Chain A
Amino acid sequence: MEDRQQVPMGDERKVVSTGGLAIDGAPLSYIVILAAVVTALAFIPFSVVIFAGGSFPLSQAVLSLIGWILGPVAGAIASAIGTLVGVIVAPHTARVWIVSIYGAAMISFAAGTMGGKGKRRGWWILVAAISLLSLAGYVGMAILANGAPVISVALGAFLDWSAVLLFILPTRLLVVRWIGSQNVAKLAAGLFLGIWITYGIGHVCQSVIYYWIQNWPAEVWLTIAPIIPVEMMVRCVAGTIIGTGVITGMRKIGLVRPAEAVY
Chain B
Amino acid sequence: MGWFGLLKPFTKRCYLSESDATIIRFAKVSYQYPHSERFALQNVDFSIRQGEFIGVIGPTGAGKTTLCLALNGIVPQFYGGRFFGHVTVAGQDSVETPVRNLARSVGEVFEDPETQLIATSVENEVAFPLENLGYAREVIKERVAWALRAVGLLGLEKKHPGSLSGGQKQRLAIAAAIAVRPKVLVLDEPTSQLDSLGACEVLETLVALNQNHGVTILMVSHSVERIAALASRVFLLLDGNLVTQGTPREVFGQSDLLARAGLRLPETMEVFRHLALRGQFAGPLPITVFEGQAALRNWRLKQSDLSSQPPATGHSDNSEPWIDLHQVSFRYPDGTQALKGLDLQVRQGDYLLLAGQNGAGKTTLVKVLLNLVRAQAGKVMVAGEDIRSVPVSTLARKIGYVGQNPDTQIFTASVGEEVAFALRTLGMDKSEIEQRVKPGLEEVGLGELIDRHPFSLPKGDRARVVIAAVLALQPEVIVFDEPTIGQDYAGARKILDLTKKLHRSGKTVIVITHHLYLMREYAQRMVVLNDGAVAMDGSLRDVLAVGESLGRFGLEPPEAVLLAESVRREGQSCPILPGELANHLVPPDSRTA
Contacts and interface: CB of A to CB of B under 8 A. Distances in A.
A249 B453 contact: yes
A40 to B, nearest CB: 12
A15 B77 contact: yes
A24 B548 CA distance: 57
B80 interface: yes
Interface string A3-14: 111101111111
A10 B78 contact: no
Interface residues of A, number: 24
Interface string B253-274: 0000000100000000000000
Contact of A245 (B42, B79, B86, B413): B413
A4 B80 contact: no
A252 B413 contact: yes
A9 B456 contact: no
Interface string B546-570: 0000000000000000000000000
A8 B79 CA distance: 19
Interface stretch (B24-32, B296-304, B305-313, B521-529): B24-32
Contact of B42 (A6, A20, A254): A6
Contacts of B240: 4
Most chain B CB neighbours (cut-off 10 Å) among A10, A16, A245: A10
A244 B561 CA distance: 54
A15 B95 CA distance: 7
A1 B456 contact: no
B43 A253 contact: no
B241 interface: yes
Contacts of B85: 8-11, 13
Given A4-B238, A8-B42, A13 B84 contact: yes
Interface residues of B, number: 32
Interface string B31-61: 0000000110011000000000000000000
A20 B413 contact: no
B455 interface: yes
Given A11-B84, A20-B78, A5 B42 contact: yes
A20 B81 CA distance: 14
Contacts of A14: 95
Contacts of B28: 8-10
State the majority secondary structure of interface residues on B: mixed
Nearest to A10: B85
A3 B38 CA distance: 10
Contacts of B29: 10
A17 interface: yes
B537 interface: no
A121 B86 CA distance: 45
Interface in A69-101: none
B239 A4 contact: yes
Contact of A17 (B30, B80, B241, B456): B80
Interface in A195-242: none
Given A3-B239, A249-B453, A253-B456, A12 B78 contact: no
B479 to A, nearest CB: 27
B69 interface: no
Contacts of B39: 5-6, 8
A18 interface: yes
Given A249-B455, A252-B453, A9 B30 contact: yes
A20 B80 CA distance: 11
Contact of B78 (A8, A18, A248, A253): A18
Interface in B275-310: none
Interface string B445-467: 00000001101100000000000
B99 interface: yes
Q: Can you list the 9 inter-chain pairs with the closest CB atoms, starting with the nearest?
A: A10-B85, A10-B28, A17-B80, A8-B30, A252-B453, A10-B84, A8-B84, A9-B28, A4-B239
12 contacts: A4-B241, A5-B42, A8-B39, A9-B84, A11-B85, A12-B84, A13-B83, A15-B82, A17-B78, A18-B78, A252-B413, A252-B455
Given A248-B413, A252-B452, A252-B455, 17 more contacts: A1-B238, A1-B260, A5-B39, A9-B43, A10-B43, A10-B85, A13-B84, A15-B77, A15-B82, A15-B95, A16-B77, A17-B76, A17-B79, A18-B77, A18-B78, A18-B98, A252-B456
